[in-house]
Amino acid sequence: MIPANRALPIGVFDSGLGGLTVVKEIRRRLPGEDIIYVGDTARVPYGTKSPDTIRRYALQISFFLIQRRVKAIVVACNTVSAVALRALRSLPIPVYGVIEPGARAAILGSKSLRVGVIGTPATVGSHAYKKAIQRYAPSARVWETACPLFVPLVEEGWTDHAVTRQVARDYLKPVLAHGIDALVLGCTHYPLLKDTLGAVAGARVRLIDSAEETARDVENGLRNANALNDPERAGRSQFFVTDHPASFARLGGRFLGKGLPSARRLAFENL
Amino acid sequence: MIPANRALPIGVFDSGLGGLTVVKEIRRRLPGEDIIYVGDTARVPYGTKSPDTIRRYALQISFFLIQRRVKAIVVACNTVSAVALRALRSLPIPVYGVIEPGARAAILGSKSLRVGVIGTPATVGSHAYKKAIQRYAPSARVWETACPLFVPLVEEGWTDHAVTRQVARDYLKPVLAHGIDALVLGCTHYPLLKDTLGAVAGARVRLIDSAEETARDVENGLRNANALNDPERAGRSQFFVTDHPASFARLGGRFLGKGLPSARRLAFENL
């Protein structure tokens, strides 16, 4: 018999679809866990919005998840992790972000300690990755650059397209010029661009996928708190979105790596 | 002495910055009018959202404008005009959209009655332009195509960039193949891409800018209702945005064609 708190679901949220790459990794590592996912598709994208607007949205979603009785919240969005994690850490349950795990992984495998970071304007403007990386390795050199067109290109489905390759070359050029050996994909949409980014960055540059690293952090955190659910059971996932569920279901499979169960509509006015 | 209703401001709104191209044209034609502009920058873009979400946002903004006592509302957004104009026409003041004026201008100058329309996914999915054009000219042939990357490209400032030209070639190719002689720029962001779109479409294709046509409609409507303000006075504009005013002020000048007075923050929770 598993105690009640272990049996509670994990709450995961993002501005839209990108966080599903984190759900995919959590389900791979922790198949016994139930997951409640919220994608704020009516207000996506967050990355070009201001920090106080992003914090307000993140708190609204977190209150919804807490009302649904989750045992932990995973902020599966680099933008929210970058600007709102401190505010969310005042909540009465454990909150996991995607920045720390990615920063740690970048440093652990870096020989030159020269690291590139790509993300949304809000993430890059916060310098959250640079600060996190230099907490682990104060002598590390970090170059950050904003790539605001990558999210719309992924959501357009142009993950393997000449335009996307040209945009990637333009965006990465100043960062690659510094001879980095690791590039942090600082947005949960970017794992879908891994092939394109890898081709542009070259084999010498490791690509750091924060979705994988974050799932590892969640596993360790829940294990240390003795809060993992029975790994033999089959976890279930529920999906909530703030815009129409149909388009979420249509695109979501690409991020999740398999079919998406139907999502339900969530209206913040009604909370 | 101007009667009170003539002296009231005109309300104009858009999902973000694009509607400023309409403000520019209204101020050029009607320099005596005061304008209250709302840009819903915290929830931009609308064009990839569902019709019922767009209608809800449009009603919230219209209620705000009515509380501010405007004499008319101009929906300076093709997406809202396409999916929400009927809902907004139930409001107790005149409401102007951008679809009808653009459709009319496309037909008035077309010899072949073969017309292309580009817009956001929501605008194109509504077929609002096709229906409006065929109300004026039932035998007209209309080809519509969604260009979801144009708004992020404009907001990135890449209005004259090799990537934008390649995206434009990709998007326009199927429409141009039909031998159109008019192309409706069915999004208030697109006037900033006029040079690029003109180069791709060629000199044979007239570009229809709905901002100009809409301003003409507003002038005619207010004149017929005897509701034009004194043309000799200097009209003032006020700008409200739902996200941080700083980035709006930084980018807005490009759309307005001159410097932007400071914008104020508007929070819908507080209405």
Per-residue three-class SS string for chain B: CCCHHHHCCEEEEECCCCCHHHHHHHHHHCCCCCEEEEECCCCCCCCCCCHHHHHHHHHHHHHHHHHCCCCEEEECCHHHHHHHHHHHCCCCCCEECCHHHHHHHHHHCCCCCEEEEEECHHHHHHCHHHHHHHHHCCCCEEEEEECCCHHHHHHCCCCCCHHHHHHHHHHHHHHHCCCCCEEEEECCCHHHHHHHHHHHHCCCCEEEEHHHHHHHHHHHHHHHCCCCCCCCCCCCEEEEECCCHHHHHHHHHHHHCCCCCCCEECCHHHC
Judged against a pLDDT cut of 50, whether residue A9 lies above it is answered with: yes
Q: Do B163 and A163 touch (CB under 8 A)?
A: yes
Of A50, A156, A162, the CB nearest to B247: A50
Residue A254: its H or E element: helix A245-256
Interface test with B, best of A48, A159, A171, A251 (most B CBs within 10 A): A48
Q: Do A244 and B42 touch (CB under 8 A)?
A: no
User: Is the minimum CB–CB distance between B55 and chain A shorter than 8 Å?
Assistant: no
- What pLDDT, on a 0 to 100 scale, did the predictor assign at position B4? 60
Which chain B residues touch A52 with a CB distance below 8 Å? 244
| Lowest mean pLDDT, pick from A53-57, A81-85, A126-130, B246-250 | B246-250
Interface test with B, best of A17, A41, A49 (most B CBs within 10 A): A49
Which chain A residues touch B48 with a CB distance below 8 Å? 155, 247
Q: Do A48 and B246 touch (CB under 8 A)?
A: no
Catalytic residue among A44, A73, A187, A266: A187
Which chain B residues touch A42 with a CB distance below 8 Å? 43, 49, 53
A–B interface: beta-carbon pairs under 8 A: 63
Q: Order of strands across the sheet with A141-146?
A: A141-146, A114-119, A182-186, A206-209
Structure tokens at A158: 């142009």
Judged against a pLDDT cut of 80, whether residue A238 lies above it is answered with: yes
User: Is the minimum CB–CB distance between B195 and chain A shorter than 8 Å?
Assistant: no
DSSP A209: E
DSSP A263: P
Residue A147: active-site member = no
Q: B52 to chain A nearest CA, in Å?
A: 8
Burial annotation A50-69 (CB, 10 A radius, 16+ → b, else e): bbebbbbbbebbbebbeeee
The CA distance from A55 to B42, in Å, is 12
C-beta separation of B76 from B188 below 8 A:
yes
Q: Do B156 and A163 touch (CB under 8 A)?
A: no
Of A53, A156, A243, the CB nearest to B149: A156
What secondary structure does DSSP assign to A53-69, as a single string? Answer: HHHHHHHHHHHHHHHTT
Q: Do B153 and A153 touch (CB under 8 A)?
A: no
C-beta separation of B29 from B212 below 8 A:
no
Which chain A residues touch B151 with a CB distance below 8 Å? 152
Judged against a pLDDT cut of 60, whether residue A124 lies above it is answered with: yes
Q: Do A162 and B166 touch (CB under 8 A)?
A: yes
A57 to each of A210, A250, B1, B39, B243, how far by Cα in Å? 22, 24, 48, 18, 12
Which chain A residues touch B50 with a CB distance below 8 Å? 243-244, 246-247
Q: How confident is the model at residue A2 (pLDDT cuts 50, 70, 90)?
A: low
ipTM at complex level: 0.77
User: Is the minimum CB–CB distance between B160 and chain A shorter than 8 Å?
Assistant: no
Give the residue ranges of chain B where pLDDT is below 50: 1, 270-271
Give the pLDDT confidence of A190-206 residue by residue, as tens digits.
999 999 999 999 999 99
Give the pLDDT confidence of A13-38 residue by residue, as tens digits.
999 889 999 999 999 999 999 999 99
Structure tokens at A44: 């996506």
Which chain A residues touch B244 with a CB distance below 8 Å? 49-50, 52-53
DSSP A270: G
**Averaged pLDDT, A235-245:** 93
**Cβ-defined contacts of B168-173 (< 8 Å, 24+):** B168/B193, B168/B196, B168/B197, B168/B200, B169/B200, B170/A163, B171/B118, B171/B145, B171/B147, B172/B116, B172/B118, B172/B145, B172/B197, B172/B200, B172/B201
- What pLDDT, on a 0 to 100 scale, did the predictor assign at position A270? 45
The greatest distance separating any two alpha carbons of chain B, rounded to the nearest whole angstrom, comes to 56
* Helix, strand, coil % in chain A, rounded to nearest 5: 50, 15, 35
Which chain B residues touch A148 with a CB distance below 8 Å? 152, 155-156
Burial of A221 (0-12, 13-18, 19+ CB in 10 A): middle
Nearest CA in chain A to B47: A42
Interface test with A, best of B44, B154, B163 (most A CBs within 10 A): B163
Judged against a pLDDT cut of 80, whether residue A269 lies above it is answered with: no
Q: Which residue has the tokens 């005009």?
A: B81
Q: Which residue has the tokens 């106080």?
A: A52
Residue A13, strand partner residues: A38, A75
Residue B187: active-site member = yes
Catalytic residue among A17, A20, A22, A77: A77
User: Is the minimum CB–CB distance between A49 and chain B shorter than 8 Å?
Assistant: yes
- What pLDDT, on a 0 to 100 scale, did the predictor assign at position A1? 47
| Residue (of A158, A220, A155) closest to A18 by Cα position | A155
Which residues between 110 and 139 in chain A have a beta carbon less than 8 angstroms from any beta carbon of chain B?
none
Give the pairing type, strands A114-119 and A264-265.
Answer: unpaired
- What pLDDT, on a 0 to 100 scale, did the predictor assign at position A271? 39
Q: Which residue has the tokens 């759900």?
A: A23
| Residue (of B259, B258, B250) closest to B41 by Cα position | B250
The CA distance from A127 to A135, in Å, is 12
Q: How confident is the model at residue A3 (pLDDT cuts 50, 70, 90)?
A: low
Q: For residue B47, which phi and psi values (nearest 5 degrees)? A: -65, -20
